[in-house]
Amino acid sequence: GTYSLQTRIANIGTGATFHLEVDGVNKSGTIAVPDTGAWDVWQTITTPGISLSSGQHVIRIVLDTIGSGGGVGNFNWFKLTTP
């Protein structure tokens, strides 16, 4: 089916990116991490269009680019949801 990835994140600065890999394949494309203003000010971002086949998979979050605040973000949780 097709899912949306919800990511609860906090971050200082701009320019940080990450992506979701499923079985070694980038399924989300590049996801920009917003500047939330502090490492403990949380925001949930939604990335739609994650296509998954049935069965077991290896899912990884890949940190691509460090932002201007010196990190990629403070990740609280991830959730795959149906639209």
Summarised one tens digit per residue, pLDDT across range 27-82 is 999 999 999 999 999 999 999 999 999 999 999 999 999 999 899 999 999 999 99
Tell me the one-letter amino acid at 58: V
pLDDT in tens, 61-70: 999 999 998 9
Q: What is the pLDDT of residue 73?
A: 95
Other beta carbons within 10 Å of 18: 19
pLDDT at position 76, please? Answer: 98
Residue pointed to by tokens 């996801």? 31
Q: How much is the pTM?
A: 0.92
Q: What tokens appear for 8 in the block?
A: 């609860």
pLDDT at 44: 98
Return d(Cα 45, Cα 34) in angstroms, integer: 9
